[in-house]
Chain A
Amino acid sequence: MRTLLRILLPFTVICMATLAQAQTGDAKRGEYVLATGGCVACHTAEKGGAPLAGGRELKTDFGSFFTPNITPDPETGIGNWSDEDFLKALRDGVSPSGGHYYPSFPYTSYTRMTEADVLDLKAYLDSIPAVKNVVPDHDLPFPFNIRMSMIGWRLLFFDDSPFEPDPTKSAEWNRGAYLVTGPGHCGECHTPRNILGGLNTDLALSGNKNGPEGDSVPNITPDPGGIGDWSKDDIVSALEIGLLPDGDFLGGAMTDVIEDNTGKLTPEDRDAIATYLTSLKPIASNDR
């Protein structure tokens, strides 16, 4: 009996450990976190690429980035990543091999995501079909092609403080603030950047004349040049189906955002975003 126990005990412990590891995140919740993060739009190649298998080209002032494959393929995706690897990538912007990501990957916003959200997202990504897909290397001119330059960039522009709820505000407001500044990463396009690509946080969400693909991105603060005359319902309609107050429909890159991100949120979360946006300090549209 004792011998049997001695043989079985380590085995049981290993089994329990494996089970515990497999259950760190909740894949079902993670599918929703994926929508809050809008991951699909960038991590899927245009013209019918496999979902999340990467390869979309992001053209910027700093060169062309090709988004990586985040399906669980062990060779070309993130199948070999541990939970710690994933947390480090999303919240610190550092790859499992220690390389620094370019801020075209919005870890600068994802750093505000809760550990629970990140691990649930990981559990979901582990559950989707692995796709073997090698994506092209980034095509960047000097000096941006030197990844080490990101160390300096991080010192200047990366604020890794976590999201701190404001106890003087409602739960709804705090949820909206979390979604907008964390997973939703709205500021990555709607906030102007300086010449080195750092976000000008004093002008947060007041529009960006030089957004993705060189397009201008509108002011979403409650300024007359932004969404000053919009009701909360107007904001919710725009986020849900792209409808603007004058009956117009949104286009450009926001179409992907509505399809993969804001359109998939619960009505409560869209309301929370509207509550947060309408509470912001109005900032006049800028020329940057």
Chain B
Amino acid sequence: MYSVRNTLRIGLIAATTFAVAAAFGTFSSDVASADGHHYKERNAAMKSLGGNMKKLGGAVAGGNAADAEAAAKAISAVAAKMPELFKDKEIPAESRAKPEIWDNMADFNAKAAAMGTAADKVAASASAGTLGSDPKAVVGSIGATCGTCHKVYRGPKV
């Protein structure tokens, strides 16, 4: 009896946590600048880019154009938020952001915009059915813009 109850309780806690996390995940980017947690949001945004790149590669390999389009659109949406996410200079110890970002904000934002353009192109091809089946080529077409920015504005792992 106890075990069933415990299982239920754990299930309930997990579901609640998940719901809260999901809600927070959805809204956090919009309330970003208000509560001053820029670094955390920046970091989460960057991780979501990586996650969507993986999804994109998997979708292309599996021939799933709809998923590929969704992943590319998610990347484009993050690209659009980059100027806001990086507006304030915050470099906590765990951050890999280089101070050069805030010395060259226009260039940084241009590089973020290039990522958005590359992702839009992929989304358009996916929607038109002309994406092809080579995940490395598709992921690489956006990834090149990631590398260009990481080259100058991201430091090594801390």
Chain A residues near B87 (CB, 8 Å)?
A: none
Asked whether, in the complex, the Cβ of B151 is within 8 Å of the Cβ of A255, the reply is yes
User: Chain B CB within 10 Å — which of A215, A243, A255, A258 has the most?
Assistant: A243
Which B residues are in CB contact (< 8 Å) with A241? 136, 139-140, 143-144
Instruction: Assess whether B45 is interfacial by the CB under 8 Å rule.
Output: no
Report the interface size for chain B: residues with CB under 8 A from the other chain.
25
A247-273 CB mask vs B (1 if < 8 Å, else 0) is 111111001101000000000000000
The residue on A at minimum CB distance from B154 is A251
* Interface stretch of the complex, out of B11-19, B23-31, B46-54, B118-126: B46-54
| B52, A247: Cβ atoms closer than 8 Å | yes
Cβ–Cβ < 8 Å partners of B155 in chain A: 215, 252
Q: Which of A193-228 contact B (CB under 8 A)?
A: 211, 215-218
- Using known A-B contacts A243-B53, A246-B54, A247-B50, determine if residue A258 contacts B156 with beta carbons closer than 8 Å: no
Q: Does A68 contact B (CB under 8 A)?
A: no
Contacts of B51 in A (CB 8 A): 246-247
Asked if B149 lies at the interface with its beta carbon under 8 angstroms from chain A, I say yes
Q: Does B7 count as interface, using CB distance less than 8 angstroms?
A: no
Q: How far is the CB of B87 from chain A (nearest CB, A)?
A: 21
Q: B148 on the interface (CB 8 Å rule)? A: yes
Q: Are A250 and B147 touching (Cβ within 8 A)?
A: yes
Q: A237-B136, A251-B151 are in contact. Are A243 and B143 (CB under 8 A)?
A: yes
Contact A240 B136 (CB under 8 A): yes
A242 to chain B, nearest CB (A): 5
Query: Which of A211, A215, A242, A258 has its CB near the most chain B CB atoms (within 10 A)?
Result: A242
How many residues of A sit at the interface, in one of the four size bands?
A: 20 to 34
Q: Is the CB of B136 within 8 A of A252?
A: no
A215 to B155, CA, bound (A): 7
A211 / chain B contacts, CB cutoff of 8 Å = 156
CB distance from A164 to the nearest CB of B (A): 34
Within 8 A of A (CB), among B122-147: 136, 139-140, 143-144, 146-147
Q: Does B150 contact A (CB under 8 A)?
A: yes
What separation, in Å, do the CA atoms of A256 and B147 have in the docked complex?
10
Q: How far is the CB of A181 from chain B (nearest CB, A)?
A: 23
> Does B157 sit at the interface, judged by CB under 8 A?
yes
Task: Determine the distance from Cα of A244 to Cα of B50 in the docked complex, in whole angstroms.
Answer: 9
Contact of B140 with A251 in the complex, beta carbons under 8 Å: no
Which residue of B52, B57, B143, B154 has the most chain A CB atoms within 10 A of its CB atom? Answer: B143
Residues of A within 8 A of B154 (CB): 251-252
B52 touches A252 (CB 8 A): no
Set of chain B residues within 8 Å of A242, measured between Cβ atoms: 143, 146-147
Known: A252-B151, A252-B154, A255-B150. A243 touches B49 (CB 8 A): no
Sample of 4 further A-B pairs with CB below 8 A, known A215-B156, A248-B50:
A217-B156, A251-B146, A251-B149, A252-B150
Query: 16 A–B contact pairs at CB < 8 A?
Result: A215-B155, A218-B156, A241-B136, A241-B140, A243-B53, A243-B140, A246-B50, A247-B51, A247-B52, A248-B146, A249-B150, A251-B151, A252-B150, A255-B148, A255-B151, A256-B151
